[in-house]
Chain A
Amino acid sequence: MKKSVWMFPGQGAQYYQMGRDLFTHEPVFRQFIERADDLAKPLINQSLIDVVYQERSNRFDPFHRLLYTHPALFVFECAMAELLEQRGLRPDYLLGYSLGEYTCLVVSGAAPFADVLTAIIKEAELIEYCSPTGGMLAILDSVEIVERYKNEFRDCTIAGRNFERSFIVSASRSALARLQAFLKSAGVSTAELPVDYAFHSPDMDRLQNPRHLVLEQLSFGVPSIPIISTAHRGFLKGVSVQSLQRATRSALDLMETVRWLESTGEYLYVDLGPSGSIATAIKYILPKTSGSEFVILSSPFGHESENVRALTQKCNKYFGR
């Protein structure tokens, strides 16, 4: 039987109305989010439920204000994990991508949900006060073009590699605009991420000390489920202030991480994020010969409840229930 990997994405995966179907139809999901909202509201003076689920004229407006996206994305992922667990599903491994490593802390039992939520809110606040604004660009080409167009990429940092023909760079807004214009003329497709900061780049260095002060307030236990980090490109030996600093500052490599994992067996990759972005990348990473499968539970197209039901049935079949 295949081992299951629950995967948690980071900044960029969020959008308004994410998880609306589950919020409406799944009390477990809804109650989890309501509890989180009660914890977050006294700190940020705003209801995350209002921010995410209020009716707006254009639901496809980018959801980018970090103070809200940071906790909202984390809460979504934890609520999704809670829902699957309540349905009797258990992961063999957890995989964290950037902010998703914070979710892994909670799902693995290494730190309490409320404490990590508070830390994430503090981190978002401190980023807004300490880091220069910037952005991130997904580039649909091989990372080798960075070498080829050295001059055009000079002000950018490679933030992560997702699959053979997809990587992400971080930079200031003006540098990204220049790069995007150039890549367009060179026939390379790009997509801006809905973020206002150059994560995983030297622009985040002024945050390092404030974030350390926040993270050292957490007490870390031993994860009861092994955590795979895309920053570490393998299993984390333990969770610590350092592992979380690395999760948000180092370059990520999903491709190398999954290739390494594939060399150890066949897996059922389940994306617990709102947009299915990691599972989509995995589709491109998996070799044709791989026996692994991937599952997307949530996407802007909705039908989350149905997807959760289908996954539950599939796993019950595995277990012969």
Chain B
Amino acid sequence: MTRIYLFPGQGSQKVGMGEGLFLRFPAQVAEADAILGYSIAELCLSDPSKQLNLTTFTQPTLFVVNALSFLDRLVLTGELPDFVAGHSLGEYNALFAAGVIDFSTGVRVVRERARLMARESGGAMAAVIGLTADRIRDVLKNANFSGIDIANLNSPGQTVISGPENEIVAAQSWLEKAGAQLYRRLPVSSAFHSRYMVRAEQDFGKFLQSITFAEPRIPVLSNVSARPHLSADLVANLAAQITHPVRWTESIEWLLQKPDPHFVEIGPGNVLSGLLKRIRMGA
């Protein structure tokens, strides 16, 4: 049996997430609060200032909830995974679970990543369902949408695209005409995982130079390569993740080759479980 833990990324946050966990891990919550300067529990449970869906808040908050969910999993089962993977932000939880970064380092790194990504505002993202990524590329090319990048390869039939807002708006009818069953704008105001994040990638790469990374105790899948991280490329790879597509389908397909794979989604919601089902069905 191969036990695989998957950690969700931005989009899986929701008010009420982490309920019950904050009381179980008060020392870790206090540590995160002290680094971030606000109450994680309040933000997650009542979101009084409507900040939970702002990238700057979403990412560190989700990192904390995912990390506490992982610790709670250990408390309840004691079962360590054989492999870990996370979707975009979730990759940092996979790194925490592999012992590459400790909890407080994770909070600090993710806070900086979120700040730099949110700084590059003005873009948009949309999920396209019912077309392959190759088909999407063709349609966009033929219609001269040269500014749109593929941001997430979530499943064979679910792809997220990133680009300038006007192009993302205009591309909808073209892709629907080509057979897309669903075209859904994501509630973000930046074009993540695209060329528009180059400045964030560079500054984040510099910031990561100051961070100490330990050798992984458990193999961590890289979003950029869809293969386990290699320590030598870790920093460059994590910075590149911001401008590169998340190769989720290939990551899961690689993990599905392992003997008797068992996947567990660790964190709020079940987005990744849904994608897993689609990837298994080839949809």
| A126 with B71, Cβ < 8 A, contacts A42-B79, A43-B80, A118-B78 known | yes
User: How long is the Cα–Cα vector from A42 to B82 in the complex, in angstroms?
Assistant: 10
Which residue of B3, B26, B78, B81 contacts A209 across the interface (Cβ within 8 Å)?
B26
| A129 with B103, Cβ < 8 A, contacts A45-B3, A122-B74, A213-B24 known | yes
| A209 with B27, Cβ < 8 A, contacts A122-B74, A129-B103 known | yes
B102–A209 touching, CB < 8 Å: no
A206 contacts chain B at the CB level, 8 A cutoff: yes
Which residues of chain A from 49 to 80 have any CB-CB distance to chain B below 8 Å in the complex? Answer: 67
Which residues of chain B from 213 to 237 have any CB-CB distance to chain A below 8 Å in the complex? Answer: 217
Residue of B nearest to A46 (CB): B80
Contacts of A121 in B (CB 8 A): 78
Residue of A nearest to B24 (CB): A213
User: How long is the Cα–Cα vector from A214 to B78 in the complex, in angstroms?
Assistant: 9
Chain A residue total in the interface (Cβ 8 A) = 21
Which residue of B27, B31, B80 contacts A44 across the interface (Cβ within 8 Å)?
B80
Chain B residue total in the interface (Cβ 8 A) = 24
Contact with B along A286-299 (1 / 0, CB 8 A): 00000000000000
B24–A209 touching, CB < 8 Å: yes
| A210 with B71, Cβ < 8 A, contacts A130-B28, A130-B103, A132-B102 known | yes
The secondary structure that dominates the B interface is helix
Given A118-B78, A129-B103, A208-B27, 11 more A-B residue pairs with CB atoms under 8 Å apart are A43-B78, A45-B3, A45-B80, A67-B80, A129-B70, A129-B71, A129-B74, A129-B96, A132-B102, A206-B31, A209-B25
> What is the interface of chain A, defined by CB distance below 8 A to chain B?
42-45, 67, 118, 121-122, 125-126, 128-130, 132, 205-206, 208-210, 213-214
B147 contacts chain A at the CB level, 8 A cutoff: no
Which of A130, A132, A205 has its CB near the most chain B CB atoms (within 10 A)? A130
B24–A45 touching, CB < 8 Å: no
User: How long is the Cα–Cα vector from A16 to B27 in the complex, in angstroms?
Assistant: 35
Contacts of A205 in B (CB 8 A): 27
**How distant is B99 from chain A, measured CB to nearest CB, in Å?**
6
Residue of B nearest to A125 (CB): B74
A130–B71 touching, CB < 8 Å: yes
B75 contacts chain A at the CB level, 8 A cutoff: yes
